[in-house]
A and B are shown apart, each in its own frame.
Chain A
Amino acid sequence: MALKQLNIFVENKKGALVEITETLASNEINIRALSIADTEEFGILRLIVNDTELASKVLSEKNYLIKTTEVVGVKIGDAPGKLSTALAVLDKEDINVEYLYAFMARTEKHAYVVLRVADNSQAEKALEDAGYHMITDPDIDKL
């Protein structure tokens, strides 16, 4: 059900992001969404891409530290208040969101939210019960 997210450990130094994105580009990998968590010393780059396995392989070959985790992807409307309504569903169930980021659809009037929670299936169930649609890896190319 869940969505695969690629996590890359990035040291805070010049050119690090260029090398990563160039590596993905030269392998025809499309980045659909990204977020960076950064501290003074390092950052964690999180990516949703169209081919997680290939991305993981080509970056590992360049000695990057890679980890794939499963996150929740949910489709929401592209209008004011839609995100807070979705988050309220989780809040009601006492589900804590560790981090989230969002991306837009290419055509439809929709946005997609990527959520990192402790228990994916619990969050998915709460959202589905409230009428939301989840997105999974096969959807990524079509969105």
Chain B
Amino acid sequence: MLEGEKMQNYYQKEIETMPVEEMKKLQSEKLVKQVKHVYENVPYYRDLMDNKGVTPDDIKGIDDLYKLPFLTKADLRDAYPYGLLAKPLSDCVRIQSTSGTTGRRVVAFYTQNDIELWEDCCARAIVAAGGTKDDVCQVAYGYGLFTGGPGLNGGSHKVGCLTLPMSSGNTERQIQFMMDLNASIICCTPSYAAYIGETLQEKGYKPEDIPLKAGIFGAEPWTEEMRRGIENTLGIKAYDIYGLTETSGPGVSFECSEQTGMHINEDHFLAEIIDPDTGKVLPEGSKGELVFTSLDKEAFPLLRYRTRDICVLSRKKCSCGRTLIKMAKPMGRSDDMMIIRGVNVFPSQIETVLLNEGYQPNYQIIVDRKGNTDTFDVNVEMTAEQFTDTVSGVTAKEKALANAMKTMLGINPAVHLVAPKSIVRSEGKAVRVIDKRKLHD
């Protein structure tokens, strides 16, 4: 690139702006190879294919994808830890794992090449958020088994940003490094970004005092209202990033400046939307369960993995120039979805109510079962605006909030206002749901 020329806002332009027909051809070639690789090296999946009467020869391109069997989280649990591994352990260089909060820990394996491609995906996201080698990128996702820190750390290196490997927590230190070293991009969970924003505000910093220009936030559901809140407090543009440990980690899809959905890195991850009840593939634009096929993963190549995320895909032309298919923000992962008194409840719905009613999205849902009835309690951190000097004033606020939630959800929670910062935040990821019901095993 010539000096002085406007910086490209693509990391891998050829792929990111590839004409759709060419992309489909590329995906077809990769899929044929990948199915062979899996069939030959993963007895678990070979059995699934054999039971369905499908052979690798039946898969001649992406139009044959529907013939392949699905993988679910239950398969991952059954095959734990090595059952879905497609490479000898001697070729693997890393594992990452989910938090296992739902009691179903997933362990994913990576070859060096898997790591490179994953980091490329994260680099695409950073560049799409305006990142260049002149940026200082503060990675405040947890480092370790959790994919957030390692993924964005690698992406940041690839872009050439000065990387601050902060990991999550120790907010005082986060703020000190941010201010002293002029961090211009921050990567963390949206709830941690909101928390850092609140803390900066308490310290008297105005958005214009904060050096950040962009944030890349993911790993938990968040709402448009929350995005606007974070953007205003920190004075940044907030970009969504999506991923799951099963496919690699963050960077499966990412937002561009248009902020209207996330571009899927579909040269690596082939996406489908299915009817979650029948498993039938739905046409583009339909709402359904998101399914991914890893086209390039060597060590842990999941074919037709059901994410349980409910969303919509779209090939509508994007103003950023990328041709990569876009996915809408998932309406909720069915792992997060609770069924309380027979009603589906997503934490994101609670969050929307809180923001509409003038509260911060700092809350915790506690579900239990007394006799045969579910109890449904929501603790919400109170702010100075809601606090009054009378008990009746506080209980009236609780009641009003409970009514607003009932309107949204159809069932009545018991709302409890609690002291600010009293809800535990672990690894910067707020613990949103505590389900004490023993319905299984």
| A interface residues, Cβ below 8 angstroms from B | 5, 7, 9-11, 37-39, 41-42, 44, 46, 63-67, 69, 98-99, 116
Contacts and interface: CB of A to CB of B under 8 A. Distances in A.
Contacts of B365: none
Interface stretch (B148-156, B238-246, B388-396): B388-396
Interface residues of B, number: 18
Interface in B384-441: 384, 387-392, 394-395, 416-422
B382 interface: yes
A116 B395 CA distance: 18
Contacts of B388: 7, 67, 69
Contacts of B387: 7, 9, 65-67
Contact of B384 (A37, A67, A69): A67
B419 A9 contact: yes
Contacts of A116: 389-390
Contacts, number: 51
Given A65-B382, A66-B387, 20 more contacts: A5-B389, A7-B388, A7-B389, A11-B422, A37-B390, A42-B394, A42-B419, A44-B389, A44-B394, A46-B389, A63-B420, A63-B421, A65-B383, A65-B419, A66-B384, A67-B388, A98-B390, A98-B392, A99-B390, A116-B390
B34 to A, nearest CB: 52
Of the listed residues A9, A11, A66, A67, the one surrounded by the most CB atoms of chain B closer than 10 A to its CB is: A9
Contacts of B383: 65
A114 to B, nearest CB: 11
B391 A37 contact: yes
16 contacts: A5-B389, A10-B419, A37-B390, A38-B391, A39-B391, A39-B395, A42-B418, A44-B391, A44-B394, A65-B420, A66-B384, A67-B384, A69-B388, A98-B392, A116-B389, A116-B390
User: Which 5 A-B residue pairings sit nearest by Cβ, starting from the closest?
Assistant: A7-B389, A37-B391, A69-B389, A11-B419, A65-B387
Interface in B361-398: 382-384, 387-392, 394-395
Of the listed residues B384, B389, B392, B421, the one surrounded by the most CB atoms of chain A closer than 10 A to its CB is: B389
A44 B417 contact: no
Contact of A11 (B389, B395, B418): B418
